[in-house]
Amino acid sequence: MGDQTFLELRQVASTYGATQVLKGIDLTVEKGEFVALLGSSGCGKTTLLRLLAGFVAPSQGTVQVAGRDISRLPPDRRGMALMFQSYALWPHMTVAQNIGYGLKLRKLPSAEIGAKVEAVQSLLGLHGLGQRKPSALSGGQRQRVALARALVIDPEILLLDEPLSNLDARIRLTVRHELRALQQRLGITAIHVTHDREEAMVMADRIVILNGGQIAQQGRPEEVYNNPASSFVAAFMGAENLLTLQAEVEERRVRFASFPGHRTLTMPVPAHRLASGMIEARFRPEAAQLFEAGSDLPEDGGQVFDGRVLSVSYPGGHWRHVIRLGDKEVMADAPRAFAPGSDVVLRVANENFFAFNPAA
């Protein structure tokens, strides 16, 4: 990063009364980068965004843009635009008036406001809708008006607070791509808050996962997905199947103590630190392979368990099974259905079997 750094947070903390919501956040963002802040409810995502926008002051630490400390600047002098989940369009104003509102507050001449509003309307495919009221628009169009209102002030940084969560699932998929394409075309730096993993994965250059007001991990979507740094991140990235195993960590191998039905008792040590003792092993339903009991398995290693099918359903594209392994239940996907009650063998490749010591 280094020279490219545009936005930089150093040791940023934030408190509401006695509650510390953000704890020592260090984050650098490059110009033109799209960063998604991902985390479960209450982890501090919105607080971090509001702090960047200037609505919340840090209790500690600094925020810099292009090398300048903006920690104490008011919101309207930060070159940032914030777009909310609820679009908060003025119902009594037309589309054009809504879009131009920020420029009017900045006391721009009305001819200039008109030209800028016109330009951003055509950029966002809102041409011809300028005189309508928000109530006469579809959800997707309203969302674009809110985006137009954010972009018309030429922000250097666009802050997005779950802007797509009020849209229905189909429109949301289209708008994701539109928003990403526009952000890339304009070269605008964007920070996007979401709790939707897939949305973060498809839109962002980099994902920052927050947990309890701290950064749990950050990296390109595929890095975080394939190499989660902790059990929390693995679970958050979809590896929700959890087995608790006892293991001895040797120089090159992890040696598992026996777990009912677990046939493979070793795996190579992972790249991250792992200590002997209790291990949380996580894997995704789609990382599991199912075989009929007694069938020959591929000879390429991986973790192999004997299990029994408890139920099967068809969510689309594959069959999803609930499988009993020892005293645990896990989910496993397969291209065909295995009947409830049948004995199966479940295999997970070692690289998809994420092992961690439980968080202290």
Ligand X SMILES: Nc1ncnc2c1ncn2[C@@H]1O[C@H](COP(=O)(O)OP(=O)(O)OP(=O)(O)O)[C@@H](O)[C@H]1O
Residues that bind ligand X (CB under 6 A): 16, 19, 21, 39, 41-47, 195
Q: What is the largest CA-CA distance in the chain?
A: 79
Helices (H) and strands (E) in the chain, counts: 8, 20
Report the nearest approach of ligand X to the CB of residue 21 (Å).
4
Nearest to ligand X of 18, 111 (CB atom)? 18
Cβ within 8 Å of residue 275, ≥6 positions away: 249, 357
User: Which residue number, 80 or 290, has a Cβ lying nearer to ligand X?
Assistant: 80
Between CA 94 and CA 117 the distance in angstroms is: 12
For 312, residues 6+ apart whose C-beta sits below 8 A from its C-beta are 319, 320, 321, 322, 337, 338, 339, 340
Q: Shortest distance, CB of residue 37 to ligand X, whole angstroms?
A: 8
- In three-state form (DSSP H/G/I as H, E/B as E, the rest C), the secondary structure along 216-227 is EEEECHHHHHHC
In the complex, what is the shortest distance from the CB of residue 217 to ligand X, in angstroms, rounded to a whole number?
A: 16
Q: Which is nearer to ligand X, 16 or 90 (CB)?
A: 16
For residues 55 and 90, which CB has a smaller minimum distance to ligand X in the complex?
Answer: 55
Alpha-helical segments (H) within 15-109: 45-53, 95-105
Alpha helices in 187-314 (DSSP H): 197-203, 221-226, 231-236
Q: How many Å separate Cα 209 from the centre of its chain?
A: 7
CA distance 104 to 108: 6
For the stretch 142-145, contacts whose Cβ atoms lie closer than 8 Å and that sit 24 or more positions apart, written own/partner, are 142/87, 142/89, 143/87, 143/167, 143/175, 144/175, 145/87, 145/89, 145/95, 145/98, 145/99
> Whole-number minimum distance, CB 16 to ligand X, in Å?
3
Query: How far out from the chain centre does Cα 135 lie?
Result: 31
CB of 81 to ligand X, least distance (A): 18
We find the least distance from the C-beta atom of residue 200 to ligand X, in angstroms, to be: 13
Query: Which letter does DSSP use for residue 152 in this model?
Result: T
Cβ proximity to ligand X, 161 vs 280, nearer residue: 161
**Which one, 19 or 135, has the nearer CB to ligand X?**
19
Where residue 187 falls (left for φ over 0; alpha for ψ -120 to 50; beta otherwise) is: left
Residue 248 Cβ, how far from ligand X at the closest point, in Å? 38
Nearest CB to ligand X, comparing residues 141 and 211? 211
Please state the closest distance from residue 72 (CB atom) to ligand X, in A. Answer: 20
